[in-house]
Amino acid sequence: MSETAPILIETADLSVGFNPGPREITLFNKLNLALRAGDLVCFMGPNGVGKTSLMRTLAGLQKPL
C-alpha cells in the first residue's frame, strides 16, 4: 500500500501485558507500530505469547502497561 494512505492505528513505545496479582507480566515492550488503510497484517505465534492481549490493547479493551 502507498505510504500516503492514512494511518489507522499507531503506537509509540506501547507495552502490553497484564497484572494478575502482586506482579506485572509484560508480553510486549516498547512496541512501535503504524498500520495504514489497506494494509494486511497477520499476528502469528504459539499459544500464550500475547497475540490476543495485543489485539485487546489496540482495540482499547485492555489498558496498556
Q: What is the mean pLDDT of residues 20-46?
A: 93
pLDDT for position 20: 84
C-alpha cell at 11: 503506537
C-alpha cell at 9: 492505528
In this prediction, residue 19 has a pLDDT band, given cuts at 50, 70 and 90, of confident
Distance of alpha carbon 37 from alpha carbon 62, whole angstroms: 23
CB 15 within 8 A of CB 29: yes
Lowest mean pLDDT among 19-23, 26-30, 33-37: 19-23
CB 57 within 8 A of CB 29: no
